[in-house]
A and B are shown apart, each in its own frame.
Chain A
Amino acid sequence: MLDDPKPTKLVEIDNLKMHFPIHTGLFRRHTGDVKAVDGVSFDIFEGETLGLVGESGCGKSTCGRAALRLYDITDGSILIDGDQIGDMSQKDLRTKRPTMQMVFQDPQASLNPRMTVQAIIQEPLDEHTSLSASEKREKVLELMDQVGLNRKFAGRYPHAFSGGQRQRIGIARALALNPKFIVCDEPIAALDVSIQAQVVNLLEDLQKEFGLTYLFISHDLSMVRHIATRVAVMYLGKIVELAPREALYAEPLHPYTKALLSAVPEPDPDLHDTMERTILTGDVPSPANPPKGCNFCTRCPAVMDICKQQEPDYREVLPGRYVACHHYNEVQTAADSTAASEASDQQSLSNTKNDQIN
């Protein structure tokens, strides 16, 4: 946290890569890779929530899953609670699983339709503890209380619940082993707006109660603003900007972040009509064939020549603010600085916009 002078890092991810091979042709030859996550580095401090945002298909979910080693990662190191799990075998990883858990996007699909709520929440206890049957039952009922489910529902099957209730079951399952780190993979994307708020508040309450650390993956910028301590913005398998929440929403640095924030719907109709949106043209390039240079150069409104040649470094430009953009590199040509000033113009615009909102 910000007021804590020396926060400890619970999760340290360095240069995480997750490439999925493409096999084509008659002989299923390895002809390329989908670079879903391509060199992502971030740290998560104990007790904080790191929001991970980005548009569809940019590798958010893959990044979250790879961070828990649900995939066998291509490269990189993952340090969770002092253990290097990046190259650990799945067998050794089993004993580390209780520290890190996951809440899934689709509460319908992430619960086994043939198991009762009791059995679902109890599964982690079956796998990692040696409690007696009655102790397990007691623990399950306690967990159901904590996530706000009626104890009477323990014998029911998932299909009998609403989306929000199912997500609570999923959260209870993730909490069963008292984890330190929970990856929330778009936990609210499949829910109604009113239920979204309930689930997010539940996640916040649980965080306060148990001192949990979240990696909160979402494409809902306002929800991330509500829950996250720091926010990382992903584009095409890479983190383009990572900053504390207030700083990022007040003054986005990377052109992509600016575009993303300007796409947040404006509830005031007058403002909605007058506000200047940065509208991106074109589509996200294929992660199997990313552009040369900066990944964002094909759609960037402030693109420079260097962007198409050289990949920008991901560096700390201000304390606690990391950006991967040539605009913030120290060496800039005259032409670039005009582009940068344009960018800062947009920036001040968005600042005034944000001031008006607040």
Chain B
Amino acid sequence: MTEAATPPSLDTRTEAPARNQWWDVWDQFKTHKGAVMGACFFIFIVLAVYVGPWIWSIDPTYIDIRARNQGSSFAHPFGTDQLGRDMLARMMAGGQTSISVGLTAMGLALFLGTLVGVLAGYFKRIDGLLMRTTDLFLALPLLPLLLVMVMLFRQPLSASFGPETGIFILIVIAIGITSWMPTARIVRGDVLALKEREFVLAARSIGTRPGRMILRHVLPNVMSPIMVSATLGIATAIITESALSFLGLGFPPDFPTWGRLLFDATDFMQQHPQRVMWPGLAISLTVLAVNYMGDGLRDALDPRIRGL
């Protein structure tokens, strides 16, 4: 230390490494009870669907026709379907697909939406073009478009990546590029407002380049709407995938997803209502957990709320 005037005790304090900001985020996150519960449940679901199959090692595609349409028992806690396949094993396998589709499609939609929103809001020249494109996408009827996309691209993608990966890519892209528009609009609006704030002007007076301006000043401040879009996005993606599978246009029939399980179970809803209940419950609870988690995360990421 060069300053002789500064007392040495002060120096030792400042020389200690600064507390990592993410600890503050975690501290705030912990105070949001719903968010903690949501996070716990989400982790539980993820562990259940990815680690569960190692413990519950029944093959989800194994057909035991004599044990079909059974209720809950020790051999089959969630019962069996009309072909005698174990529902618990199928729920786990289905969850893997549903959750990975949800997360990846959300990531893609969020990336596209944020990119378009920030570019449109920040660079006035391309604003009109980008927002009219967004309007165009919003005007497209979602479900027919998805159906056409699945029809057109299922074969070539299945051929080049194998049936499962091909469909996975197709579904993720289909959901991703049809659900980024609300994010883009919200982000653009926020960026437009942010751009007029004095700290952006201050950064301009420093000579901050546009790229860094966006990363340092704009993006962190549009975090809240992005987080909200993200949590809602996971939910919508899981539901859209379910809807596609439900319509029989998602993954192949023998490939379980939560939506496909729901679809298969509707025929037997009268006789075996529990078969609709389990996948339905899994979808709803996962979506709910993710929403709570996003809520808490949004609060935790805002230093103004965090300080309280």
Contacts and interface: CB of A to CB of B under 8 A. Distances in A.
Contacts of A55: none
B209 interface: yes
A123 B6 contact: no
Interface residues of B, number: 31
B140 interface: no
A127 B14 contact: no
Interface in B83-124: none
A334 to B, nearest CB: 52
Contact of A173 (B14, B202, B216, B223): B202
Interface residues of A, number: 40
Given A123-B216, A155-B19, A114 B208 contact: no
B198 A160 contact: no
Interface string B199-211: 1011111111100
B273 interface: no
A323 interface: no
B132 interface: no
Contact of A97 (B10, B14, B206): B206
B4 to A, nearest CB: 12
Contact of A159 (B202, B208, B216, B307): B307
A101 B206 contact: yes
Contacts of B201: 65, 70, 104, 110
B220 interface: yes
B221 A127 contact: no
Identify whether the interface residues of A are mostly helix, strand, loop, or mixed.
helix
B125 interface: no
Given A127-B207, A128-B207, A145-B3, A112 B13 contact: no
Which of A123, A145, A173 is the most central at the interface, judged by chain B CB atoms within 10 Å of its CB? A123
A116 interface: yes
B307 A157 contact: yes
B14 A152 contact: yes
B109 to A, nearest CB: 24
B199 A160 contact: no
B21 interface: yes
B66 interface: no
B68 interface: no
Contacts of B21: 116
B202 A102 contact: yes
B221 A154 contact: no
Interface string B211-247: 0100011001101000000000000000000000000
A175 to B, nearest CB: 12
Contacts of B216: 112, 115, 123
Nearest to A141: B14
Contacts of B202: 102, 104, 110-111, 170, 173
Interface string B1-41: 01100100010011000110100000000000000000000
Contacts of A152: 10, 13-14
Nearest to A124: B206
A70 B212 CA distance: 17
A170 B203 CA distance: 11
Nearest to A97: B207
Interface in A96-155: 97-98, 101-102, 104-106, 109-116, 118, 123-124, 126-128, 141-142, 145, 151-152, 154-155
A177 to B, nearest CB: 8
Contacts of A114: 220-221, 223, 302-303
Contact of B303 (A118, A142, A157): A157
Interface string A150-189: 0110110101100000000010010001000000000000
A68 interface: yes
A171 B130 CA distance: 38
A142 B201 CA distance: 25
Which 7 residue pairs spanning A and B have beta carbons closest together?
A: A97-B207, A109-B198, A114-B220, A157-B303, A110-B198, A94-B207, A102-B205
Given A123-B216, A127-B207, A173-B206, 7 more contacts: A110-B198, A111-B199, A112-B199, A128-B206, A151-B13, A152-B14, A155-B18
Interface of B: 2-3, 6, 10, 13-14, 18-19, 21, 197-199, 201-209, 212, 216-217, 220-221, 223, 302-304, 307
